[in-house]
Amino acid sequence: MMAANDATTNAAIEDYLKKLRRGMFGVSGRRKRDVCDEIGADLEARITLSQGNLNAVFLTAADPIALGKAMRAVHGISWWLRLLLWIPAPFFGILSFPLISAFVPAAPTTLFLVLGTLLTISAGAVGGRFAGLITGILVALPRIIGLIITVVGIEMIQELIGYSGWSIDGGTAFVILLTSILLPIIGFLVGKRVSL
């Protein structure tokens, strides 16, 4: 067992903390610094107790990237990243509403539904269960509101003017409702939780 000098010790700790920061992607800077300072101090104390044996300390230390991901699950992601995920979500919901194709035939509504689903999955994977749930709700809500407005609007047109050329069948309404309900569920289930 060879004792490590200060430069080697600092380089090893900094390398560990760099990997830890990579695993904590999206956590606010202040929280990330606090966690890294605490873990860095713990590593220094453990190296001192082991009389400079870096191998023994780093062999028993947790995987820094996995630890960083666990810290992200505990502390959550920063507000700027949440906003980056949440701002486009309602637009994907609006643009993925299938009845837009009746008025704009070239509208790629399925593409926007896929993009909204990918955004929901990404939010769950990066930000945790509740970020995925909220993103899924933000994508689904415009679809459900659009479905309600469409059904009520068609009924009103049919009653007021007697025009019966427009209709929405039960299958289409069911698919819109089902996919809209599944989005928040998918976002929640994809989200990571801390396992102790």
Looking at the predicted structure, is the pLDDT value of residue 102 above 60?
yes
Q: How confident is the model at residue 193 (pLDDT cuts 50, 70, 90)?
A: low
Q: How far apart are CA 96 and CA 139, in angstroms?
A: 9
Show Cβ contacts of residue 89 under 8 Å, excluding neighbours closer than 6 positions: 116, 119, 120, 135, 138, 139
Which among 106, 18, 98, 108 is positioned nearest to 64, based on CA atoms?
18
pLDDT digits (tens, 9 = 90+) for 174-192: 999 999 999 999 999 998 6
pLDDT digits (tens, 9 = 90+) for 38-68: 999 999 888 888 887 888 888 888 889 888 8
Domain coordinates of the chain in residue numbers?
6-75, 79-190
Give CB contacts under 8 A, 24+ apart, made by 12-16.
12/54, 12/58, 13/40, 13/43, 13/44, 13/47, 16/43, 16/58, 16/61, 16/64
Poorest-confidence range of 44-48, 61-65, 97-101, 149-153? 97-101
Per-residue b or e along 36-60, where b marks 16 or more CB atoms closer than 10 Å to that residue's CB: beebbeebeebbeebebbbeebbee
Looking at the predicted structure, is the pLDDT value of residue 1 above 70?
no
Other CB atoms within a 10 A radius of the CB of residue 63 amount to: 13
Residue spans of alpha helices (H) in 24-169: 29-49, 54-60, 64-75, 79-86, 89-95, 100-103, 109-127, 129-160
Contact indicator for 23, 64 with CB cutoff of 8 Å: yes
